[in-house]
């Protein structure tokens, strides 16, 4: 039976230690269940607040909470943040030397820790199990629990050994957490971690503070630059590219344009990569240009945008990558440019992969679902959530909700495009076909005699960007097939015939102005009046100094959200300051007077 005093005690810790007035979503239920000794499986989106689900029970239950986390950088930041809040936390991983390790182990055995973080490979070692056997344990928290899934892309074999916890310590409650939404992974986690009796908590996977925008690709670099300058000047963000070379080139180009950008990909040496990651986390306003090798270890709450210059492979990938934006709950952007070349490239990667037919079929279906998201004239969020099995209403916070795209009857244009493919022998790509349609003379056109064809110039009345969007949408709709054996030549498909014969109407999205975003109307809830903004800048500078002197990331001291609230409210005394979200007792003690002095002088 749930005990009402459990929740009261948990809420007290939430306020006192973490400085938050109330639990969010399913947190209260999870905390209650775990404090009372139940196993739990928690599925919550990134930024949903999973950490408190095991941190608070660790503080409430006797003994130490043991957290298994695969990511060393993340572990270190969490421990730093907990210590700031006055929690007795430590970690054991490969970055510690023998003496440091021994010190942590002694503190653990002496019952001097509330929380201890372990890398998974340590946990199953006899030495560790012995140590834990001698220590009163509050719980085991298995973070990023999807790492146990052999089909997922984050599979870590060490996670399979975690079933030993249940065998060795059957009475210690376990809580497994993940932001991976699909049912298959869920089943695998329950199976492999023997969580059959666990209570399962599933939150909505919506990230309401993220605004989704997908723009037609025209001149992607300039579109990106304009997006960064107009909407995110001086803010942290991630730009994803498919290839290492493109990462390097894009980062260099952004730097030349005055953006504080750094590259990150698996081809760089480990030291440089680590340095870039650290700078991204510790400095403010860095734009990381990266392949998807970058991301999983990133716990930075104030990433204000994630931009894609290339198409991800699937909606899962898109959701996971864009999910790194706005963990702090403040407005953030997921922005992508998308064009025919992306469709061609992704289909090509699938066709050329060595995988078996079954894998290719699945990959194609996943890509098609993503293309559906790109081409939809309806709400992006509704599409995204429905992919994860959630129903929702149009969100009002995506590009298609904010500026509903026009559609047009493109039947005639589609027929012309398909005839151009057919008449030129199904051996040319879109660029050449558009020249034919627009009647653009040229050496190549003449060499092939394409200026003699009936289709030459039949589409002169339609602009080139519109033709590009027609071919892209035809490819996305599978009305055109891209043949990679033939250097990306476009070919007809089964489905094209009905269109060619005039038996099927084709409705397409009208191409948007090539500038990408036009959102001067945007009013971010986070945006502060100029006077508060100035104060916010001073608070940030103060925080950065502190962070540097303590060698921790700035957000470990206070989140932007907390600083913004301080700038808006301008508390005059410690009491009022303590009421601000994110200011717990320890931080008030530590920084209160300094902050009040700063506020008084502002």
Q: How far apart are CA 352 and CA 341, in angstroms?
A: 16
Choose from ligand ADP, Zn ion, none: what does 328 bind? Cβ within 5-8 Å by kind. Answer: ligand ADP
CA dihedral 502, 504, 510, 511 (to 10 degrees): -80
Choose from ligand ADP, Zn ion, none: what does 325 bind? Cβ within 5-8 Å by kind. Answer: none
Q: What angle do CA 261, 267, 268 make, to 5 degrees?
A: 55
Nearer to Zn ion, 294 or 387 (CB): 387
**What minimum distance in Å lies between the beta carbon of 406 and ligand ADP?**
37
Choose from Zn ion, ligand ADP, none: what does 395 bind? Cβ within 5-8 Å by kind. Answer: Zn ion
Q: Which residues of the shown chain bind ligand ADP in the complex (CB under 6 A)?
A: 20, 23-24, 27, 44, 46-52, 301, 327-328, 559, 581
Helix, coil or strand: residue 504: coil
**What minimum distance in Å lies between the beta carbon of 211 and Zn ion?**
9
**What minimum distance in Å lies between the beta carbon of 23 and ligand ADP?**
5
Choose from ligand ADP, Zn ion, none: what does 379 bind? Cβ within 5-8 Å by kind. Answer: Zn ion
Choose from ligand ADP, Zn ion, none: what does 586 bind? Cβ within 5-8 Å by kind. Answer: none
Nearer to Zn ion, 398 or 413 (CB): 398
Q: Which helix (H) or strand (E) holds 41?
A: strand 40-43
Question: Residue 89's beta-bridge partner residues?
Answer: 115
Nearer to Zn ion, 180 or 213 (CB): 213
Number of chain residues interacting with Zn ion (CB under 5 A): 5
Nearest to 301 by CA among 280, 315, 319, 318: 280
Q: How far apart are CA 331 and CA 519, in angstroms?
A: 14
Q: Does the footprint of Zn ion cover residue 381 (CB under 5 A)? A: yes
Choose from Zn ion, ligand ADP, none: what does 49 bind? Cβ within 5-8 Å by kind. Answer: ligand ADP
Nearer to ligand ADP, 28 or 506 (CB): 28
**What minimum distance in Å lies between the beta carbon of 209 and ligand ADP?**
11
Nearer to ligand ADP, 23 or 335 (CB): 23
Nearer to ligand ADP, 276 or 327 (CB): 327
CA 431 to chain centroid, in Å, comes to 34
Choose from ligand ADP, Zn ion, none: what does 119 bind? Cβ within 5-8 Å by kind. Answer: none
DSSP result, 474-491: HHHTTSEEEETTTTTEEE
From 254-262, 302-310, 374-382, 429-437, give the range in contact with Zn ion by CB under 5 A: 374-382
Choose from ligand ADP, Zn ion, none: what does 559 bind? Cβ within 5-8 Å by kind. Answer: ligand ADP
Question: Residue 201's beta-bridge partner residues?
Answer: 42
From 176-184, 240-248, 387-395, 579-587, give the range in contact with Zn ion by CB under 5 A: 387-395
Choose from ligand ADP, Zn ion, none: what does 453 bind? Cβ within 5-8 Å by kind. Answer: none
Nearest to 500 by CA among 591, 390, 411, 585: 411
Q: How far apart are CA 10 and CA 23, in angstroms?
A: 9
**Chain residues 394-413 in contact with Zn ion, contact rule CB under 5 A:** 395, 398, 401
Choose from Zn ion, ligand ADP, none: what does 242 bind? Cβ within 5-8 Å by kind. Answer: none
Greatest alpha-carbon pair distance for the chain in Å reads: 89
CA-based torsion, 176, 179, 180, 183: positive or negative: positive
**What minimum distance in Å lies between the beta carbon of 410 and Zn ion?**
24
Nearest to 543 by CA among 276, 284, 300, 327: 284
**What minimum distance in Å lies between the beta carbon of 1 and ligand ADP?**
25
**What minimum distance in Å lies between the beta carbon of 208 and ligand ADP?**
13
Backbone angles phi, psi at 357, to 5 degrees: -60, -40
From 234-242, 313-321, 372-380, 522-530, give the range in contact with Zn ion by CB under 5 A: 372-380
Q: How far apart are CA 135 and CA 127, in angstroms?
A: 13
Q: How far apart are CA 227 and CA 236, in angstroms?
A: 13
Choose from Zn ion, ligand ADP, none: what does 484 bind? Cβ within 5-8 Å by kind. Answer: none
For residues 280 and 262, is the Cβ–Cβ distance under 8 A? yes
Total residues belonging to the chain: 602
**What minimum distance in Å lies between the beta carbon of 328 and ligand ADP?**
5
Nearer to ligand ADP, 48 or 571 (CB): 48
For residues 141 and 94, is the Cβ–Cβ distance under 8 A? no
Choose from Zn ion, ligand ADP, none: what does 47 bind? Cβ within 5-8 Å by kind. Answer: ligand ADP
Nearer to Zn ion, 86 or 378 (CB): 378
Q: Does the footprint of Zn ion cover residue 379 (CB under 5 A)? A: yes
Q: How far apart are CA 173 and CA 179, in angstroms?
A: 20
Nearer to Zn ion, 307 or 398 (CB): 398
Nearer to ligand ADP, 23 or 212 (CB): 23
How many C-alpha atoms does 576 have within 13 Å on its Cβ side? 12
From 159-167, 358-366, 389-397, 514-522, give the range in contact with Zn ion by CB under 5 A: 389-397
Backbone angles phi, psi at 89, to 5 degrees: -125, 150
3-state secondary structure 510-559: CCCCCCCCCCCCCCCCCCCCHHHHHHHHHHHHHHHHHHHHHCCCHHHHCC
**What minimum distance in Å lies between the beta carbon of 518 and Zn ion?**
17
Helix, coil or strand: residue 273: helix
What residue ranges bind Zn ion (CB under 5 A)?
379, 381, 395, 398, 401
């Amino acid at each position: 039976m749930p005990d009402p005093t459990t929740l009261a005690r948990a809420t007290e810790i939430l306020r006192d230690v973490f400085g938050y007035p109330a639990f969010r979503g399913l947190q209260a239920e999870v905390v209650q269940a775990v404090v009372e000794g139940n196993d739990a499986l928690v599925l919550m989106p990134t930024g949903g607040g999973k950490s408190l689900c095991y941190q608070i029970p660790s503080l409430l239950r006797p003994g130490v909470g043991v957290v298994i986390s695969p990511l060393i950088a993340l572990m270190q930041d969490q421990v730093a943040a907990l210590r700031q809040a006055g929690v007795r936390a430590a970690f054991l991983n490969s970055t510690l030397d023998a003496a440091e390790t021994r010190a942590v182990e002694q503190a653990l055995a002496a019952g001097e820790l509330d929380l201890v973080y372990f890398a998974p490979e340590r946990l199953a070692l006899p030495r560790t199990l012995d140590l834990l056997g001698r220590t009163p344990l509050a719980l085991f928290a298995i973070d990023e629990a999807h790492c146990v899934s052999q089909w997922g892309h984050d599979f870590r074999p060490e996670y399979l050994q975690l079933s030993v916890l249940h065998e060795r310590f059957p009475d210690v409650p376990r809580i497994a957490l993940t932001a991976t939404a699909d049912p298959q992974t869920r089943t695998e986690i329950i199976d492999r971690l023997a969580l059959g009796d666990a209570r399962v908590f599933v939150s909505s996977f919506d990230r309401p503070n993220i605004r989704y925008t997908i723009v037609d690709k025209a001149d992607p670099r300039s579109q990106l630059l304009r997006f960064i300058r107009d909407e995110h000047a001086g803010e942290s963000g991630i730009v994803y590219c498919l290839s290492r070379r493109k990462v390097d080139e894009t980062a260099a180009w952004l730097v030349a344009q005055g953006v504080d950008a750094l590259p990150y990909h698996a081809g760089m040496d480990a030291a440089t990569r680590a340095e870039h990651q650290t700078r991204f986390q510790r400095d403010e306003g860095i734009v990381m240009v990266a392949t998807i090798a970058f991301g999983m270890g990133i716990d930075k709450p104030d990433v204000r945008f994630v931009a894609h210059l290339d198409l991800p492979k699937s909606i899962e990938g898109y959701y996971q990558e864009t999910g790194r934006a706005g963990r702090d709950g403040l407005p953030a952007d997921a922005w992508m440019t998308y064009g025919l070349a992306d469709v061609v490239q992704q289909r090509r990667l699938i066709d050329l992969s060595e995988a078996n037919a079954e894998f290719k079929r699945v990959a194609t279906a996943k890509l098609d679902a993503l293309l559906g998201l790109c081409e939809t004239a309806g709400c992006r969020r509704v599409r995204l959530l429905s992919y994860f099995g959630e129903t929702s209403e149009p969100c009002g916070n995506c590009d298609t909700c904010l500026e509903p795209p026009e559609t047009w009857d493109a039947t005639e244009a589609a027929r012309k495009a398909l005839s151009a493919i057919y008449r030129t022998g199904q051996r040319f790509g879109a660029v050449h076909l558009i020249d034919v349609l627009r009647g653009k003379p040229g050496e190549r056109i003449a060499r092939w005699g394409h200026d003699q064809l009936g289709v030459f110039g039949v589409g002169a009345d339609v602009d080139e960007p519109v033709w590009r969007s027609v071919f892209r949408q035809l490819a996305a709709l599978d009305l055109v097939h891209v043949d990679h054996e033939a250097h990306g030549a476009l070919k007809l498909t089964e489905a094209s015939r009905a269109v060619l014969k005039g038996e099927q109407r084709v409705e397409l999205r009208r191409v948007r102005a090539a500038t990408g975003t036009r959102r001067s109307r945007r009013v971010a809830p986070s945006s502060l009046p100029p006077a508060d903004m100035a104060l916010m800048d001073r608070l940030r500078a103060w925080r950065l100094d502190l962070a540097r002197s303590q060698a921790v990331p700035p957000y470990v001291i206070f989140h932007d959200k907390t600083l913004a609230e301080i700038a808006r409210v301008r508390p005059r005394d410690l009491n009022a300051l303590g009421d601000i979200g994110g200011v717990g007792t320890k931080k008030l003690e530590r920084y209160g007077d300094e902050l009040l002095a700063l506020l008084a002088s502002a």
